[in-house]
Structure formats: C-alpha cells, structure tokens
Amino acid sequence: MPRLALTPGEPAGIGADLCVTIAQQPHPAELVVFSDPDLLYSRAAQLGVPLTLTPFDRNAPARAQQPGQLTIVACPLVAPAQPGVLNPANAAAVCRSLAQACDACLAGDCAALVTAPVHKGIINAAGLPFSGHTEFLAERCHVAQPVMLLVTPTLRVALVTTHLPLRAVADAITPSRLHTAIVTLDQSLRRYFGIMSPRLLVCGLNPHAGEDGHLGNEERDIMMPVMTALRIAGLDLHGPVPADTAFIPSRLATIDAVLAMYHDQGLTVLKTQGFGQAVNITLGLPIIRTSVDHGTALTLAGTGQANTSSLESALALALEMVASVNTPTMIAAPSHPE
C-alpha cells in the first residue's frame, strides 16, 4: 500500500478545499497531507463535510485512505488563513510544508509527492525567492535541471525552459540544457509510461524553426547538432519543427510527446485542449512528483465550487508512476555533446 505526500499549497486558495473534498472518497493509498490541522478542519466545516485527521506514524503499516479521513503531518501556519485573502506571514510555512513533504519522499516514507497550487507572488512578496514548485523541488533534491512535463489523456508536452522571462529564453537554450531535456524526457517515458521507444517531436525556438538561419540561428547551430548526436545514439527524434504546426493532429498521431522550448509555446496548446484534466509532472528528480494544472483560485476558496478533477488525475497518475518504477526500461544516457 503506497503512501502519497500531499501539500495543499497556498492556505488562502482552494488547495485545502481540494484536500478535504477528495478525502470524502476512498483511495487505494494512504494520503499523508502536510498542512496545518486547523486549516483543514476549518475548511471542512465551511464546506460542510466530515474530516478526521490521524497523525502520521512512519513505523505503522500504510493503510488505504477511508472516506472522511486523512493522515497528517502538522505544519502550523503563523496566522489563521482566511479564504481568498493572501497573507505573506504564512509564506514561509507554505515552503516548509513543501520541503517536509519532499524530504519524506527522499527518505522513503512516502512514494510520491502530489502538490496543490501555491501563490508565487505572495511568497516573493514575503521576501522568499520562489519561481515555482519545479525549481524549488529541484534545489531541494540537488538536481541541476529538472524537466516539466504536462500530461492530458491525449497529449504530453515537456519544456526545455520553465519559468523564465521571454527575453531570457534564447540564451538558456544551450546544447547541454537541450541534451539533458531530451534524454530526461526519453528515459522518463520509458520508465513511467512503459513506452519502449519514445517518439519525440521537438519544436523550434524561432518562427518557421529559424528558416534556415534567416529568422534565427538556434535551430541550425544548437538544436540540430544535439539532435543528430542523439539520433545516432538511438533516440527517435523529429524536428526541429515550426511550433505553429507542431500540434496539428496528423503530427500528434505519430509521436508520444512534444518538447517545447519555453512555457507558453507548449502549455497554451495543452491547456486549451485539456485544462482541468492535465497533470504537471517534474521529471529528473529522485522522487515522483505530480501536481494540478491550475492556480490557487482565490475567489473559489471556501465556496464548495472548486473542481477536484485535476487533483484526482494527479493522484491517479502518481499511483501509476509508483507502480511502474519496479520495472524500469531506461537506456543509458548518451554523453553530453561538446
């Protein structure tokens, strides 16, 4: 019976609503929520649902989560949370809960980490540098370059760069970074999704994929040499292709995942297609991490109108990934290009 670490994220948002709502159904795993108990009890009372919190015991056998129950690791807030009202005083507590949940996975106490949304703005307003879950977890796990992958029932899109200003993206597309992103995506599809020979479609950075250097040199000078070397090593790579035609149905029918160069290049299409059903996965970490595809939805907190579909998908996919790690099918990573 696996244990899944669950973080509710921003206490003023819908994360707590999602946690107590999904707790009303049974799950084939023990859900261990890293949160302030008073926050969860208060939000359950506002939503009119029962809730029993049991302290986490790492030495006890894991048990399937029963309706109305959650296992908890207490992560106290500094100030009581009010739905819809951000409070920078609680920003450090949000980061602590995420760090503790990550550490529980690193220690083997939990098999995967599932995260509800945080509010990056209020964390930064509190004086804590924070660009996103992906970067925070990578630093916590001492990983230099994680890869963000979003998955819907019909599409997988990974990113070479994540939360960067657009003017910084071109400089960030280096041979080493591109190589790592491609190999990480390829190996992860093998290990977690059972795809024995992943077919990857790589988007160009520039319009028309650079137009043979007339609209930018990144495709010709950086992307093509890396992709050629990886093809020789056995990877099935297509591109670089113009991003404006990468997502047409005839192309998607022949590939297993798209690798986009920056955040909005890939995620705009994916969220248009499957918002609310998508799952955000951080690849390249020593732990399994999935997340919802939406934000904190402050105006919905405490109203009972929050949709749990993305969190339910994140939990289900985390369990599938946990089950898959016992039969990895990865290949050896080719060496970095010069």
For the annotated binding site for substrate, the residues are 133-134, 271, 280, 289
Bind-site residues for a divalent metal cation: 163, 208, 263
End-to-end distance of the chain based on CA atoms, in angstroms? 45
Beta-ladder partners of 280: 150, 291
CB 193 within 8 A of CB 306: no
Q: How many residues does the chain have?
A: 338
DSSP 219: I
| DSSP 8-state secondary structure symbol assigned to residue 107 | T
Residues within the annotated binding site? 133-134, 163, 208, 263, 271, 280, 289
Tokens matching residue 16: 């707590």
**Distance between CA 300 and CA 297 in Å, rounded?**
6
Rama region for 9: left / alpha / beta (φ>0; ψ in -120 to 50; rest): left
Residues 6+ apart with CB under 8 A from 259: 157, 158, 159, 160, 181, 182, 185, 200, 201, 202, 203, 266
155 in Cβ contact with 53 (< 8 Å): no
Q: How many Å separate Cα 237 from the centre of its chain?
A: 23
- Cα separation, 42 vs 81, whole angstroms: 9
Helix (H) or strand (E) run with residue 148 in it: strand 147-151
CA–CA distance, 306 with 301 (Å, rounded to integer): 7
As a whole number of angstroms, the distance between CA 59 and CA 140 comes to 24
Contact assessment for residue 320 and residue 140, using Cβ atoms and an 8 Å cutoff: no
